[in-house]
Amino acid sequence: MKTYHLAPWARARQERFGLLFYDTRSTTMTFVRSGDRLVAPPFDDRAVPLRVVTRSPAEELRVIRVLDGLEAKGLVVAAEPE
Amino acid sequence: MPQNLSSERLGAPVNVTWEITDHCNLGCRHCLSADLRRESGGELDRERCETLIDELAALQVFQINFGGGEPFLRPDFMDILRYAQTKGIVTCVSTNGTMLTPELVDELVGMELLFLQVSLDGAQAATNDAIRGEGTFERILEGVSLLSRRSFPDLSLNMVVTSVNFEEIGEFHRLADSFGARTRLSRFRPSGDGSRMWEQYRLSRDQLAWLSGFLGENPGILTGDSFFSLTNADRQTQGLRTCGAARMTCAVGPDGSVFPCAFLCDPAFLAGNVVEESLGAIFENALIMRTLRDLEVEPCQTCDRFSLCNGGCPAVAYFVTDSLGLPDPECLRVAIPGPGIPGPGIPAPGTPVAEHLSAPERAEVA
């Protein structure tokens, strides 16, 4: 599975519903209802990848779709596994 | 699951408006901070400001909107601004533009995570000067020219839309564009000195209806989500559909007093002071914050537009009707009456509002 990092201009924080993303280029927010399936990196260490916590392959597919959507919006950057 | 994620309870503010000084060199007739500045018990010193910024960073607040007064009048403001940026917090400065010098602009151009919003209340000198003071149009545009010549990247010109400058909205948009700046239109609210000018400056129903359509046709115009009560179908997926006070934002006064938002900086809405208590605790626990978070505008709940505005701006409702639980008196249903008889661009009753996890919603917070 690919790993996903925050884009350099993106911020994310954990909320009860999931993740709240913020784009520093446009000051826009993006709400992602991911529950505890996606874990944001520490606010002061954005080099840490987003952590995916899923309980089934179907759930993993859904989360990956969300991550791909976030990548299309420029909020996360995907890296292929080495 | 909630229908609208932007209505969800957040753990901390997304952005904080910080009126960092009570000093100003202008006397704008609609100043929303006038009462706050008059009643302020001084200013937080630089060390206390840095402590607050540390706390905002710990709370993962994304953005600080600095205002005043005029922030650039404060001698240590640039140090405070830099400190916030070193914490990775986006900074937006609302300025009247008259303090900008070539040297200051050179410093600002070199800063990352900085948005500048210059206030100008008309496209014509006479219109602006009637609101912001004689000769200010020229002085403001001198500052804007300095920023434009140095290609400052994130610049907007902000006009508080009133009956006085309403006819100049299009011309204002072109003026901003000529400086390479984005247009920002802000809602006039009866807060501070705005309460004294309310009857004179407020928009008519026809003007509100026209503005709703204009904003829908011009999605590039920034509003800071201040016109969400007027949002029409063209703009409904852009920005918030509810009041952010005590949910996504709060305001800090020059002396550290905390309020639910910049338009509710009234003693009745005082939630605490960061000198005595942490901002996180005030945001979470203060009675007035909880009251606003739980606020339900009962009369609006049967309206076909309720899902688009959730009752509108409580600040306008409070200062006009003396009640928090009444509808925003400037909502689009007031401008275009008739539930079930949709006006131009207004969704018909029962039209579903798009809301998907995989197509996350966006909201402008500057």
Cβ contacts of residue B163 below 8 Å, gap of 6+? B200, B201, B202, B203, B204, B207
Distance CA B184, CA B77 (A): 24
- The neighbouring-strand residues paired with A20 are A13, A31
- Is B9–A16 a contact, with Cβ atoms under 8 angstroms apart? yes
Residues from chain B contacting residue A70 (CB–CB below 8 Å):
360
B100 burial (CB, 10 Å; 0-12 / 13-18 / 19+) is buried
The residue type at B265: C
Distances (CA, A) of B319 to A48, A63, B75, B196, B263: 47, 45, 34, 11, 10
B362 Cβ under 8 Å from any chain A Cβ: yes
Return all residues near A43 (Cβ < 8 A) that are at least 6 apart.
A11, A13, B57, B60, B88
Residue B357 near chain A (CB below 8 Å): yes
Does B62 contact chain A (CB < 8 Å)? yes
pLDDT of residue A40: 94
Q: What are A's interface residues with B at a Cβ cutoff of 8 A?
A: 11, 13-17, 20-22, 24, 26-34, 43-44, 65-66, 69-70, 73
Q: Which pLDDT value is given to residue B237?
A: 61
What is residue B364's predicted lDDT score, i.e. its pLDDT? Answer: 53
**Sole residue written with tokens 């309460």:** B195
User: What pLDDT is stored for residue B353 in this prediction?
Assistant: 26
What is d(CA A16, CA A19) in angstroms, rounded to the nearest whole number? 8
Say what the pLDDT of residue B338 is.
Answer: 53
> Which chain B residues contact residue A32 at CB under 8 A?
357, 360
Whether B99 contacts B70, CB under 8 Å: yes
> How many C-beta neighbours within 10 Å does residue B294 have?
8
Give the integer Cα–Cα distance in Å for B259 and B32: 13
The pLDDT, as a whole number, for residue B57 is: 96
- Specify which residues B135 forms β-bridges with: none
Dist. CA B325–CA B310, nearest whole Å: 11
Residue B7: predicted pLDDT = 67
Can you give the C-alpha Rg of chain B in angstroms? 20
Query: What is the per-residue pLDDT for B327?
Result: 87
pLDDT score of B342 = 34
End-to-end CA distance of chain A: 10
**Low-confidence residues of chain A, pLDDT below 70?**
none
Rounded Cα gap, residues B82 and B97, in angstroms: 19
Collect all residues of chain B within an 8 Å Cβ-Cβ radius of residue A42.
none
Radius of gyration of chain A (CA): 12
Amino acid B292: pLDDT? 93
**Which residue ranges of chain B lie beneath pLDDT 70?**
1-7, 232-240, 335, 337-366
Residue owning tokens 């008889």: B341
Q: What is the pLDDT of residue B323?
A: 86
